[in-house]
Structure 1
Amino acid sequence: MKNQLFQNFVNHAQEQWKQQVIKDLKGKDFDKTITWQIDIKNKVSSYADSQNINKLPLKIVQQSQFQGFTKIWNNREIIKFKSGKETNQLIINSLYAGANSFLIDFSGVSISEIEIKKLLSNIKLSDTPFFFKVENNYLKLVNELQIIAPYLWKGGIINDILERYFTQGILTSEDWKNQANILGKIQNHPYFKGITISSHSFHNAGANIAQEIAYTLGSAIEVIDKLSEQNIDLQEIVQKIEFSISVGTNYFGEIAKIRALKFLWKKILTEGYGLTDEKYLGISIHCITSSFYNSSITPNTNMLRATTEAMSAIIGGCDALSVRAYDDTYQESDDFSRRIARNISTILKEESYLDKVIDPSAGSYFIESLTFQLAEEAFNILTEIENEGGIIEAFQKNIIQNSIKENFEYLQNSLTENQSVMVGVNKFRFDEKPFEQNESKTVKNTNLSFELLPTHRLSEIFEK
């Protein structure tokens, strides 16, 4: 029966498929109709078969993906700190409602004013991973945690030195010394991260996927080199790193982005730094659904975007996922919008069973080919950055800013000229109640000889 079944299906070469498609298009341009323009420079064919992946070092790519990965991701809720008591209650409520990890955002708040004991009342850091995003006095936070939680912690400190530099222009030698001090204080906490390498500043400025991968890895190389100068062992550094990645609406591209990031990270550690022990070659990835693609008009469509972004993050292989509330672009999210965001991750696990397959995209001709194409492009960009002297040198020469700006303008023009579709923005739009617009933000620093990265949203041009 099996042999008879497959006799009904005939293999076709790619050229045969192309000729048939050209015939069916009846005069339409093949490249414009079938080829997918993934960004300003790169096109992707909509067709892939075994011939495509036979040309790739597929075993090398796949080996970097899910080694030791259980495919169970944390549903990490982001909570903006208000007061110790109020934030603690939000945490407790969210724990009962499906969250199992938290990112507490202390932005704009002095750690010296926070009663950490009240914040973590009835909470154990050994049971629930907590990540604390801080801008100041992070050493004081670690010292207080040592007093109130004298056991092994899960979670980490989010103190992204380079993201602050790219968006605010603030960087001193003390930053690296303080980062080294943090690592010294948490070295006996194996499940607690102390270094964050994020892609958010690049993503929100309008970078394409290959740029985002390259600049994020360039930042990681810079952090490793700077901390090595502080006499921190390489093995200790890489074990304390968590990557925090924005995930956009390019469904297949974002899956491939995470996979390419894993592949290139392993390549950098093995070929660039000589690490061979597998226990140091893993990667921890936290994904956050994009604010760049969220809109303040027809905001309910943001739920749809967040769902596909979450799927891309999970299928790509994230370790933790934070889903933004659909209304956080124009107001403080309420209990309802936070619940909807939290439930996206829960439903994809409990009802879609995305935690039951180790690597859903493995072997897909299209995704495997796209992964390697993005990895090649990102590695070329990374090589150019390193030839300039590293990410900081390239940034000070405005190389990174200019490249990202070019891609942002391409994305914006594609939208305004209706060459691309953004549901609820340039198509299928239904303006809902009036809102306060959150416009692009660029911190001005007149003491700098280079530009800083702005924070954009792609739909802003339609909201004026």
Structure 2
Amino acid sequence: MNNPSDENSNKKPKSALDVAFEASRESQDKRTGLFAEFNAVSEKGFKQQIQYDLKGAEYNESLVWKSPEGIHVKPFYHRESTAVTSIPGQPQSWQVAEEIYVLDEKQTARTAHEVLQKGAESIVLKADKPLDSKKLLNALPAESFSLYFNLSFFDHEFMLSLCENLKSKPYKSFLNIDPVGNLAFTGNWFSDQKTDFKGLERLFLNTANDNVIGVDATGYHNSGATAVQQLAYALAHANEYLNHFGDQLNNQTITFKVAVGSNYFFEIAKIRALRLLYASLASEYKLPETCHILATPALRNKTLYDYNTNLLRTTTEAMSAVLGGANTICNLPYDSIYHKTNEFGQRIARNQLLILKHESYFDQVTNPAEGAYYVEALTTQLAEQALALFKELEAGGGLVTQLIEGKIQNKIKEAAAKEQALFDTGEKILVGTNKYQNAEDRMKNELELYPFLKVKPRKTLIQPIIARRLSEAMEQKRLEDE
């Protein structure tokens, strides 16, 4: 007769995962259908198995890493500890946009006709001075498309005339007027705060346009702010308008322009968190909780050398924007930092988005990130930390006050310096620039535009927030050595 103790001693010891399987077996017996054959594993079971496989190493020290934003990223996420968050205002579809710089009204209209025929669904008109809006609008295609304005000026009479001329057109128009953004990124109001806000009020009262205000948050990203800072500053930025105009915004939808970087899942979560945060803020004012998001690839990580890598960066960044829930995406041409606008660069940038939409089926699912535990957890953490920072900003007087005091500029400089140090030491990699360089690459004779930060001495009310690419110093050294 076999000794029972001998028989047990020959058995392979059960792993923690086996124990978890057995514990869940009773509930599994009640399940029906295809998945009844598979045993569910609890979060505790996963952790026990990980501890078993680590052979004594600490779980938190070995597998949990902390991002520059202070987000703790775990090796796995489970439904037991991850809430699925309903994101308000997620679009049913997204549009392909192309930016056109306005020099001549008729030429701009011809270009708009061409790019719309080639697949663009929205046009972003960029201008630095008032234009003949009637002449331009009459020459634009008569079809329905979205029309965004990116104006570096705020002429009140021109804007009233533009809105009047837009009334008879089928376009969905977004004026994107942003005096606070002008203060933050140029150091000055368009005129002064009182005059600028009075001009906005005139537009609310005298036009039917329901997309007057834009919050340009791209400068926060491109100057080196963390994702948490970008969200908090964008929210505080919008709150300057909500707090000042209140009920006058009842029929208004605020447009956020955001820059999307290469941290794929974080950028998806960032856009989702922005919608969540804005809805929470707007509800406090009893205003519409839905915002409109225009996304564009970030400038900060783009490179001069091995410039074709920018194509890969902008592709993944556009994917993040789509999956995060942007309404419209305006791509950045791969050569935009050193070439003037050209047909080839624009066509490639447009076709990147068209491939995502028509060949990769990125327009077939609404809110595709919902229920993805990792993205849901990131969304929650980013939103919570950004909300905490937003509350600190408001307790300190709000965005404008802290810009005047220089506190926000200093915080962004600190974050940018940390990121720059990671790049300089090679811990943060830009392929083709600080890793895997092509020694034969020559760019000195290719420069049509000055690709580095330009310093223009001028009198400003505050110190502006300055966008700067990570690779600038390294590229300048390589150009000198050619």
Where on the TM-score scale, by shorter chain, does this alignment land: which range? 0.7 to 0.9
**Matched residue SS, 1:357:** coil
The CA distance in 1 between the partners of 2:311 and 2:204, in whole Å, is: 38
Alignment partner of 2:118 out of 97, 100, 122: 97
Partner of 1:174: helix, strand, or coil? helix
Match of 2:28 in 1: none
Matched, 1:426 2:434: yes
Task: Quote the sequence identity (%).
Answer: 28
User: Are positions 1:83 and 2:84 aligned together?
Assistant: no
Match status 1:133 vs 2:150: yes
1:5 shift after superposition:
7.5
Could you say which residue in structure 2 is the equivalent of 1:169? Answer: 187
Q: What secondary structure does 2:257 align onto? A: strand
**Residue 87 of structure 2 contacts residue 275 of structure 2 at CA under 8 Å; is this kept in 1?**
no
- Partners of 2:354 and 2:424 lie apart in 1 by 35
Give the number of the structure whose alpha-carbon radius of gyration is greater.
2
Does structure 2 conserve the Cα–Cα contact (< 8 Å) formed by 1:75 and 1:345? yes
What is the CA–CA distance in structure 1 between the aligned matches of 2:60 and 2:222, rounded to whole Å?
30
What does residue 16 of structure 2 align with? Answer: none
- How does 1:273-288 map onto structure 2 within 5 Å? 273-275=285-287, 280-288=288-296
Instruction: Give the distance between the partners of 1:458 and 1:368, measured in 2 at CA.
Output: 29
Q: Map of 1:3-402 to 2, 5 A cutoff?
A: 6-7=37-38, 13-20=45-52, 22-23=54-55, 34-39=63-68, 41-53=70-82, 56=83, 58=84, 61-64=85-88, 66=90, 69-70=91-92, 72-107=93-128, 110-111=129-130, 114-124=131-141, 127-134=144-151, 135-144=153-162, 146-147=164-165, 150-151=168-169, 153-171=171-189, 172=192, 173-187=194-208, 189-190=209-210, 193-228=211-246, 233-236=248-251, 239-270=252-283, 272-275=284-287, 280-402=288-410
Alpha carbons 1:157, 1:194 under 8 Å: kept: yes
Residue 286 of structure 1 and its aligned partner are, at CA, apart by 0.8
- Which 10-residue stretch deviates more, 149-158 or 84-93? 149-158
Could you report, residue by residue, the CA deviation over 1:131-181 in whole angstroms, capped at 9, with x for unpaired residues? 222214253144155247635541121222111101222221100011111
Aligned to 1:214, the other structure's residue is in SS state helix
Give TM-score scaled by structure 1 length: 0.87
Query: What is the SS of the residue equivalent to 1:420?
Result: coil
- The 1:339–1:218 alpha-carbon spacing in structure 2 relative to 1, beyond 3 Å, is same
- 3-state secondary structure, aligned to 1:158: coil
Give the secondary-structure state (helix, strand or coil) at the position aligned to 2:423: helix
- Residue in 1 aligned with 2:27? none
Aligned length: 435
Q: 1:455 aligns with which of 458, 462, 467?
A: 467
Contact 1:243 1:284 in 2 (8 A): yes
SS in structure 2 of the partner of residue 318 of structure 1: coil
Contact conserved, 1:158 with 1:196, CA < 8 A, in 2? yes
Q: Structure 1 unaligned segments of length 5 or more: list them.
A: none
Output the CA distance in 2 between the equivalents of 1:133 and 1:214: 23
Q: What amino acid maps onto 1:22 in structure 2?
A: L
Distance 1:447 1:351, change over 3 A: closer
Give 1:51 shift.
Answer: 2.8
Residues 207 and 226 of structure 1: CA distance in aligned 2, closer, same or farther (over 3 Å): same
Amino acid at match of 1:315: L
> Judging changes above 3 Å, is the alpha-carbon distance between structure 1 residues 97 and 8 closer, same or farther for their aligned structure 2 residues?
same
| Shift of residue 38, structure 1, vs aligned partner | 2.4
Q: Indicate if the aligned counterparts of 1:297 and 1:463 stay in contact, CA closer than 8 A.
A: yes
| Partners of 1:362 and 1:368 within 8 A in 2 | yes
Q: Deviations over 1:317-348 (max 9, x none)?
A: 01111001000011213111101111111111
For each residue in 1:398-437, what CA deviation from the matched residue of structure 2 results, as whole angstroms up to 9, or x when unmatched?
A: 2211111111111111111121222222122223433444
Contact 1:167 / 1:443 at 8 angstroms: preserved in 2?
no
Answer whether contact 1:215 1:382 (CA < 8 A) is retained.
yes
Shift of 1:314: 0.5
- Provide Cα deviations, 1:338-378, integer angstroms capped at 9, x if missing partner: 01111111111111111111121111111100100000110
Cα distance in structure 1, aligned partners of 2:363 and 2:460: 49
Are the structure 2 counterparts of residues 300 and 2 from structure 1 closer, same or farther at C-alpha, using a change threshold of 3 Å?
A: same
Cα RMSD (Å): 2.5
Quick one: distance in 2 between partners of 1:265 and 1:407? 24
Q: Distance in 2 between matches of 1:399 and 1:130?
A: 35
- Deviation string, structure 1 residues 250-281 (Cα, Å, up to 9, x no partner): 100000001111111111122x2244xxxx22
Deviation at 1:79, TM superposition (A): 1.0
Cα distance 1:20–1:80, how it changes in 2: closer, same or farther (>3 A)?
farther
Change (3 A) 1:168 1:62: same
2:329 is paired with a residue whose SS is strand
